[in-house]
Amino acid sequence: MESTFRTPDTSSVTVGVDGSESARAAALWAAGEAVRRDRPLHIVYASDTDGRALYLSAETIERVRINGRELLDDTAKAVSAEYPGLNVTTEFSRAGAVDSLHRAGGLHGTVVVGSRGLGGFNSLMLGSVGLGTAAIAMTPVIVVRGIDGAEESGTVIAAIRDEHDLLIARYAAREAELHKASLRLLHVWNVLQSVGEVVGMLDGIDEIASGHAETLRAVTDAVRGEFPDLEVQADAEKSTSVAGVLVEASRHADLLVMGGRRVPGPLGLAPNLGRATHSLLHHAHCPVLLIPRTGSDFGSQS
């Protein structure tokens, strides 16, 4: 798989805000990530006034602009108070949130969003916008979840599907170094799907399990070779719900890194997130970092 983005230490960090507590928490988390990467933080407020110009009065558009600027200033002050010395820039965009975030993130940046928005006109971060940002992303996207009152576990998890996820494992290893954490490579395979692939022959399970273990071993050996000072744990598990195992594992992680599986939308529409990716964005107990990948869902599980 060819990469269209760089490793975390060289990429910019862009975060979207909309006035919600979730977005404010995401901005502070993104600031910490920017400090870890030694990169500036770029804060974006997307008003979508261009898209609504036919329905909004000039007074309303001006009020949105003033409120948006105030929100950007307040967020920047809060971030600077928490992380003195961090280079913080802000941007008021008249375009829609998804386009604004991707444009601000550029070719190599990481985009950060909160786990929910305000609702109504100002619901510009997660919800439909957050999902849309992840669905069409060509660079990494982090959805900040599960940080309220959570203690750091000292672990970064990488969800590994197959040997093509070595890039995800490398990215997660670098994040683990930045977080001063250990790395857990977790490979979960759907036992029902695998049995179906051998025409229902249950006596083939041991052979299938061996193949999955070998896949994880190859990725693990490569990561340990490239990151000799990093503590790396590797686990292969079988389940009837890959998403369920990953959600449970996220209880004991500071960050979960996975390939953002995308499947074609109906009738040529925009791509949709795969089922496991969608589940993690809604139910994970820690921030989720999606590395964009095309192709089938993470195991095609329910």
How many Å separate Cα 35 from the centre of its chain? Answer: 18
For strands 13-16 and 110-114, give the pairing: parallel
**What is the C-alpha separation between 299 and 302, in angstroms, rounded?**
9
pLDDT of residue 117: 60
C-alpha 292/C-alpha 272 separation (Å) is 12
Q: What is the DSSP letter of 86?
A: -
Tokens of 225: 């070779």
pTM, 2 dp: 0.84
pLDDT score at 240? 85
Closest among 32, 7, 289 to 145, alpha carbons compared: 289
What was the pLDDT predicted at 300? Answer: 38
Confidence of residue 263 (pLDDT cuts 50, 70, 90): low
The answer to whether 257 and 170 are in contact (CB under 8 A) is no
Question: Which of 125-139, 218-232, 242-256 is least confident?
Answer: 125-139
Residues 6+ apart with CB under 8 A from 229: none
pLDDT by residue (tens digit) across 175-202? 999 999 999 999 998 766 554 454 444 4
Between CA 18 and CA 24 the distance in angstroms is 8
Instruction: Please give the full DSSP string across 208-237, using - where no structure is assigned.
Output: HHHHHHHHHHHHHHHHHHH-TTS-EEEEEE
Q: State the pairing for strand pair 255-263/182-190.
A: unpaired
pLDDT tens-place string over residues 147-164: 887 788 999 999 998 888
96, 51 Cβ separation under 8 angstroms: yes
* Torsion over CA: 295, 302, 136, 75 (sign): negative
Question: What is the band of 85 on the pLDDT scale with cuts at 50, 70, 90?
Answer: very high
Nearest partner of 224 among 278, 185, 180, judged by Cα: 185
Neighbours of 267 (CB within 10 A): 5
